[in-house]
Amino acid sequence: MNLTFDSVAAPWWPYLFILLAGWLATDMWRWLGVLAGNRLRDDSEMLIWVKAVATALVAGVVGKLLLFPAGALAEAPLILRISAATIGWLAFLAAGQRVLVGVLVAEAVLIGGWLVSG
């Protein structure tokens, strides 16, 4: 049977298809990572490399969002985007490296700056 999005006419099929496709693309690999990760030491070369790659990917995404944003974020001035990220990072450090604090402060600065300048 050819299982595509349009292959079954049942009303529940799109939901099952999205659930299965979403699971295969994400959760399956997470569980395999957990199983494989149990055998790795925290200071192993492989885990250090994985952490470095993950950090580089996050830095790349943040840099792209700051310098080359799309959508509504592109309307915010560059100085506002950089200021929001910097102040959010400083709040993150001041709050004992609590991610939620950094994100909320950065959002507040960005939204506040948007309201003041707009």
One digit per residue, pLDDT tens: the chain, 118 residues? 566 666 777 888 778 888 888 887 788 888 888 887 777 788 888 889 989 999 999 999 999 999 999 998 999 999 999 999 999 999 999 999 999 999 999 999 999 999 998 6
DSSP3 helix / strand / coil % (the chain, rounded to 5)? 75, 0, 25
Q: Is the pTM of this model over 0.75?
A: no
Strand spans (E) along the chain: none
